[in-house]
């Protein structure tokens, strides 16, 4: 009778000890893995802001490029009309004929019928020059916008990283889950825990153990890539803004060829700015994806610990 009572007491002590170990291990996981979601939530918000900002910069760069191409087409039209005027002036000198004035819509017809009729092109050229200048100003303004947004995006992306404390916390979380896994296994082998206790521990292990599959370094890599691309876009945008402003400045001493080169350079820089801004936007978007993955694990882990 005494032997039976002793064995029973021994088993009860064993169960109490195992339960205490299991409870302590769960509490350890709760301490190590709790509140990670709060930090990730802030990071997700910042990544979203950065994506939106660089997205605006990408659009602005695209507008600058499109406007620059439109300006180049207008400039070509101006060159063509100026060439026609020059040829007509030469013909006037040869024939010493007084030219009449006609509407711009009849220019091609009039030239075909009477090559020595001078169309009223001055007004047309003034309008085209004004349009070219307006397009140039739009290109300069949108490049400036792209530059500003790329700078902002680069700053936000560069600071939106997994800090050392969070990385340490995630590592400690993973270690605490491993410890809980061992203790649960031992409790199951010794039959010192109830099925409910084992199931609760297993749900925590399954949810929080998913941190093993999360590569937090990828979040920082995307941050660095987005910041670098944004910085490149900002540099190209600044160069494009300066070049575009210079190309659009009225300068009688500057050759037509130099003006054309400046406009071409502005368009190239606008295109490069757009590409760099687009890459930064993509990197920010993929960073959000990586953060969302980590946030999902954090939410599920903390949910299992409740």
Residues 247-306: tens digit of each pLDDT: 777 665 666 777 778 878 888 888 888 888 888 888 878 888 888 888 889 999 999 998
Percentage of residues in the chain having pLDDT higher than 90? 11
CA-CA distance, 196 to 23, in Å (whole number)?
12
- Reduced to 3 states, what is the DSSP secondary structure of residue 186? helix
* pLDDT exceeds 60 at position 170: yes
Please state, in angstroms and rounded to a whole number, the distance separating the CA atoms of residues 240 and 140. Answer: 8
Query: CB neighbours of 60 closer than 8 A, spacing ≥ 6?
Result: 142, 143, 145, 146, 149, 277
Q: Which of 156-160, 167-171, 172-176, 200-204 has the lowest mean pLDDT?
A: 156-160
Tokens standing for 237? 């945008």
pLDDT at 17: 46
Kindly tell me if the per-residue pLDDT of 88 is higher than 70.
no
User: What per-residue confidence (pLDDT) applies to 11?
Assistant: 41
Q: Is 218 left (phi over 0), alpha (psi -120 to 50) or beta?
A: alpha
Distance CA 21, CA 212 (A): 23
- Residue 128: which pLDDT band, with cuts at 50, 70 and 90? confident
Global pTM value: 0.65
Query: If you average pLDDT over residues 163-190, what whole number do you get?
Result: 88
Q: pLDDT at residue 7 above 50?
A: no
pLDDT at 143 over 50: yes
Statement: residue 176 has pLDDT above 80: yes
User: What is the CB neighbour count within 10 angstroms for residue 112?
Assistant: 8
Residue 134, both tokens: 């307006």
Check residues 122 and 239 and name the one with the higher pLDDT.
Answer: 239
Q: How many CB atoms lie within 10 A of CB 30?
A: 19
In angstroms, rounded to a whole number, what is the distance separating the alpha carbons of residues 210 and 296? 10
Q: Tell me the per-residue pLDDT of 27-62, one tens digit each, with 9 for 90 and over.
A: 999 988 888 888 788 777 777 777 777 887 788 888
């Amino acid at each position: 009778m005494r032997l039976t009572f002793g064995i029973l007491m021994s088993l009860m002590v064993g169960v109490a000890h195992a339960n205490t170990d299991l409870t302590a291990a769960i509490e350890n996981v709760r301490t190590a893995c709790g509140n990670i979601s709060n930090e990730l939530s802030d990071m997700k918000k910042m990544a979203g802001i950065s994506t939106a900002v660089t997205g605006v910069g990408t659009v602005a760069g695209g507008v600058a490029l499109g406007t620059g191409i439109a300006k180049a087409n207008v400039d070509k039209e101006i060159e063509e009309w100026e060439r026609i005027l020059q040829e007509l002036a030469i013909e006037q000198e040869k024939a010493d004929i007084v030219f009449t004035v006609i509407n711009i819509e009849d220019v091609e017809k009039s030239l075909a019928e009477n090559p020595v009729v001078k169309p009223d092109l001055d007004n047309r050229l003034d309008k085209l020059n004004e349009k070219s200048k307006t397009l140039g100003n739009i290109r300069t303004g949108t490049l400036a916008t792209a530059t500003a947004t790329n700078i902002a995006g680069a700053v936000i992306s560069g600071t939106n990283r997994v800090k050392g404390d969070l990385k340490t916390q995630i590592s400690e979380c993973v270690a605490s889950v491993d410890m809980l896994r061992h203790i649960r296994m031992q409790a199951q082998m010794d039959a010192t825990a109830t099925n409910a206790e084992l199931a609760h521990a297993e749900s925590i292990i399954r949810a929080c153990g998913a941190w093993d599959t999360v590569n937090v370094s990828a979040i920082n890599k995307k941050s660095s890539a987005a910041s670098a691309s944004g910085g490149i876009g900002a540099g190209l945008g600044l160069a494009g803004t300066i070049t575009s402003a210079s190309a659009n400045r009225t300068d009688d001493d500057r050759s037509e060829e130099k003006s054309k080169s400046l406009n071409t350079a502005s368009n190239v820089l606008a295109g490069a700015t757009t590409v760099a801004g687009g890459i930064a936007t993509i990197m920010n978007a993929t960073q959000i994806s990586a953060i969302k993955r980590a946030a999902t694990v954090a939410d599920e882990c903390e949910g299992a610990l409740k």
